[in-house]
C-alpha cells in the first residue's frame, strides 16, 4: 500500500471527509487530495499529526509494507519463568505456547533481513551471508506465526517481551516477505 492509500483508508475508517481532516490538520482540502493521490507527501509535522490522529506509527505510514496491521501489542515477560515441554524446543517456544494456548497451530519462523541492492553487492564482495549473520546476532529473539483460525498473528518473543501484530493476509506459504524481512516456516510446529 502506498502512503496515499493508507491515508485514504485511515481517513475513511475514522469516518472523516477530506474537508474534516483538512480542518483538523489546518491544511487545505486540496493538500489532503494531493496526499491521497500520491502527488505529494505531508511534511514531518503533518505526518506526526496524522500518526497521532489515526493511532498508527509514522513508520507504518511511510513504509510500502501492507502485510502488517498498524496495531502492535507488546507485553513484558520474564523468559526464565518458561520451561520447554512436549514439542517445544526452547523457552521462546514455551512462552508463545503459553501466550496463545487456544491457537490452532503455531509455526516457528526463521528471519532474515531483505537486503537492498547495494547491501547485496557489499555482502557478496565481503562474504555472502555476512550481513544477515550480523543482523541475526543483533536480534536474538524468536518469531512465530500464530494461527487463530480466522486470523494470523506475527509474534516476536524476546527475553523481555512478547510482541504480537495481526497480519492483513494469512501466512499460507512456506516463505513470505513481511516488511523488510523474509520469514520462512521451520520444519516443525507447536
Residue 116: predicted pLDDT: 82
Is residue 132 classed as helix, strand or coil in its secondary structure? helix
What's the whole-model pTM score? 0.59
The pLDDT value given to residue 66 = 52
Question: Could you give phi then psi for residue 180, rounded to 5 degrees?
Answer: -100, 15
E strand spans, 92-180: 105-113, 142-147, 152-157, 161-167, 175-178
Q: Residue 25 pLDDT more than 70?
A: yes
Q: At what angle do helices 44-54 and 18-25 cross, to 10 degrees?
A: 120
**Can you tell me which residue has the cell 518473543?**
157
* C-alpha cell belonging to residue 82: 518458561
pLDDT category at 77 given cuts 50, 70, 90 is very high
Cell numbers linked to 9: 483508508
Categorize the per-residue pLDDT at 180 as very low, low, confident or very high, splitting at 50, 70 and 90.
Answer: confident
Evaluate whether 57 touches 179 at the Cβ level (below 8 Å): no
Instruction: Give kind and range of the element (H or E) at residue 74.
Output: strand 68-76
Amino acid at each position: 500500500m502506498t502512503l496515499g492509500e493508507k491515508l485514504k483508508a485511515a481517513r475513511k475508517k475514522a469516518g472523516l471527509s477530506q474537508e474534516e481532516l483538512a480542518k483538523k490538520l489546518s491544511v487545505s482540502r486540496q493538500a489532503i487530495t494531493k496526499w491521497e493521490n500520491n502527488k505529494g507527501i505531508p511534511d514531518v509535522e503533518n505526518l506526526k499529526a496524522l500518526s497521532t490522529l489515526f493511532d498508527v506509527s509514522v513508520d507504518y505510514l511511510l513504509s510500502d509494507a501492507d502485510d502488517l496491521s498498524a496495531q502492535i501489542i507488546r507485553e513484558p515477560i520474564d523468559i526464565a519463568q518458561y520451561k520447554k515441554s512436549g514439542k517445544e524446543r526452547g523457552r521462546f517456544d514455551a512462552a508463545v505456547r503459553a501466550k496463545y494456548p487456544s491457537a490452532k497451530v503455531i509455526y516457528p519462523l526463521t528471519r532474515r533481513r531483505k537486503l537492498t541492492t547495494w547491501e547485496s553487492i557489499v555482502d557478496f564482495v565481503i562474504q555472502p551471508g555476512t550481513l544477515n549473520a550480523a543482523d541475526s546476532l543483533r536480534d536474538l529473539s524468536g518469531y512465530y506465526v500464530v494461527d487463530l483460525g480466522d486470523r494470523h498473528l506475527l509474534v516476536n518473543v524476546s527475553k523481555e517481551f512478547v510482541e504480537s501484530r495481526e497480519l492483513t493476509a494469512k501466512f499460507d506459504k512456506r516463505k513470505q516477505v513481511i516488511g523488510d524481512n523474509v520469514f520462512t516456516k521451520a520444519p516443525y510446529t507447536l
